[in-house]
A and B are shown apart, each in its own frame.
Chain A
Amino acid sequence: MFISKFSRLGAHAIKSMVKAPYFTPRTSYLPVVHNHYLRTLRHEPFCTGAEKNADEGSEEKKKISVTFVDKDGEEKHIKVPVGTSMLEAAHENDIELEGACEGSLACSTCHVIVMDVNHYNRLEDPTDEENDMLDLAFGLTETSRLGCQIIAKPEIDGIRLVLPAATRNFAVDGYKPKPH
């Protein structure tokens, strides 16, 4: 299980390097992010993927602007180091984005909606595995993604992400709320 996930993430990483010319190629890119995230949660000292690889090229030091729009419509503007996932970024900035499986692509609670189609199109296509989890996301839209799978890169500078509204759509998995 772990092995297959690893290779899957590896494949995703390779794909993203091929597609994203600004990237300094490095191996095991996503797993680094993942481990870093787990460490953050355990409150252990850590260095971000970007810092760790600072000597690999100035591109890595860059931060991009990201706006989160929360459930009440309030906006929060943050700077996110290139290479960091939106889930990590949200948690480092006290933004209430769930992440039940801590970025392992097994829960769909980190669902975000990309507000601008242009930004959405600049992201890698979701893998089958991400689509499988998106199937179960609440309030799925055409530009929905999983926050743990969106990794900051210069092309998406200025991206705006909406947290799905509190008025949920329970239709997932066959359930519809009915007043008695």
Chain B
Amino acid sequence: MAIFGKLRWISRSFTSLPANPLRICVVGSGPAGFYTAEKILKAHKGVEVDIVDRLPTPFGLVRSGVAPDHPETKIVINQFSRVSQNDRCSFIGNVSVGSSVSLPELRQMYNALLAYGAESDRALGIPGEELGGVYAAREFVWWYNGHPDCRNLAPDLTSTDTAVILGQGNVALDAARILLRPTVELARTDITSHALDALEESSIRKVYLVGRRGPVQAACTAKELREVLGIKDVSIHVKQADLVTTPADEVEMKNNRIRRRVYELISKAASSGPSPPLPGQRELHFVFFRKPDRFLESDDRSGHVAGVHLEETTLEGDDLGKRIAVGTGIFDDISCGLVLKSIGYKSVAIDSLPFDHYKGIVPNVGGRVLSDSTGDLPQYETGLYVCGWLKRGPTGIIATNLYCAEETVASISEDIGKGVLTSNSSKPGREGLLQLLDSRNIRVVQFDDWEKIDAEEKELGNLKNKPREKLATWEELLQVASE
């Protein structure tokens, strides 16, 4: 029944378009997906863009990654929502490419732009990684941000007073802040209630942020660092010896404003020194020049982590900015009951898609997917493009995807100009996709269905003085979407 309504609505929205518009399907509704959609729609009046996402909710990591205490960063969803209001654009949620519909099927119906991000994790490949209490930061972030796939993660925050976070990027700092920030402050954010409840009960008092390189190479940025250094009632610990810089460090800082400002903030925090700890005060320890060697198993809780065995490192290599950490053979341990591995996300390959497993990206030049890069002349997949973390790897802020989208859309425009991409009646686009999904009993979630979820979440949030209370299970999300 519902599908008929949809089809009628679709044929209505076709009226303003050429009889046979060029149909592009964007896979993934994060910043990369929305920015590309926006730019394609703007540059090509005869193009129709559908954005599919495996979740019933749009906006990718802006919803499931960006920290709850960063509401300003999420304002960008206003702009993305305006893109969805375009007559030539539709959001089609609850559609997972690779399972609901295969990539070859999708490509029969559309030209495709893949922007499905990075939903797995880089691995350390060291003993003990599978122990209980060791999580990928991605899982922890999904848990507190209400991604339905991690609703039941239930990290144990009550059996230990110490957490070790491996990595010193911005995700590591987000996780540290969530663990250390007074919960009364978090209670005013859109953090999920299940996470807030667990954090209120948390016995974690000490968080170690462990980097394999030095303070000059720390991967975080100044804003995030300033924030974590400024958390109320947390004492900051940095070893003075780690702050000694080498001539190579000095050059690195001279060439890179971010590195210089990050180093300055860390050394300032170190020189103001930890005030004598007040009873119950929380501690944040920056540990530099240590790489994880293995995880230690608890004696009295079998299968659970009890600590991390770390090897001291020094930096080697001539390529400034890319000096690598090498072990010195000297080891020490940090005892802890919780470990978050925050060493980077990783994209997942789907179906028949060309994939560079080493870099974890779809091989491409300027966003055009390479089918074969071995010969002299690159061979491209016709009508297949890539953008965002899937194209560049899992780094960069929201704005990086804007410039990344500009590049991919320039390639698409060039191909449209050259006639490589033409509208083609054998590509039925949205109508074909919706029919196929209907035949598979997959209930899609369109933008107005998402708006029901959005309204419900805001209403629930209102009752608790929060901007929103996220629906965090598949059942609740799909239930509210279909009301």
Contacts and interface: CB of A to CB of B under 8 A. Distances in A.
Interface string A32-45: 00000000010000
B100 interface: no
Which of A101, A129, A138 is packed against the most chain B CB atoms within 10 Å?
A101
Contact of A100 (B69, B261, B399): B399
24 contacts: A1-B70, A1-B189, A2-B71, A100-B398, A101-B72, A101-B75, A104-B72, A104-B75, A106-B75, A107-B76, A109-B399, A109-B402, A132-B261, A135-B258, A140-B257, A168-B406, A170-B392, A170-B403, A172-B397, A173-B221, A173-B396, A175-B395, A175-B396, A180-B373
Nearest to A169: B403
Interface in A71-127: 98, 100-102, 104-109
B464 interface: no
Interface residues on A, range: 20 to 34
Contacts of A107: 73, 76, 398-399
Interface residues of B, number: 39
Interface of A: 1-2, 5, 41, 98, 100-102, 104-109, 128-129, 131-133, 135-136, 138, 140, 166, 168, 170, 172-175, 177, 179-180
Contacts, number: 95
A101 B76 contact: yes
Contact of B76 (A100, A132, A174, A180): A100
Is chain B's interface secondary structure helix, strand, loop, or mixed overall? Answer: helix
B406 A166 contact: yes
Given A136-B221, A180-B363, A106 B72 contact: yes
B226 A136 contact: no
A98 B397 CA distance: 15
A88 to B, nearest CB: 15
B445 to A, nearest CB: 25
Contacts of B404: 170
Contacts of B400: 170, 172-173, 175
Interface centre among B189, B364, B398 (most CB of A within 10 A): B398
A96 B235 CA distance: 44
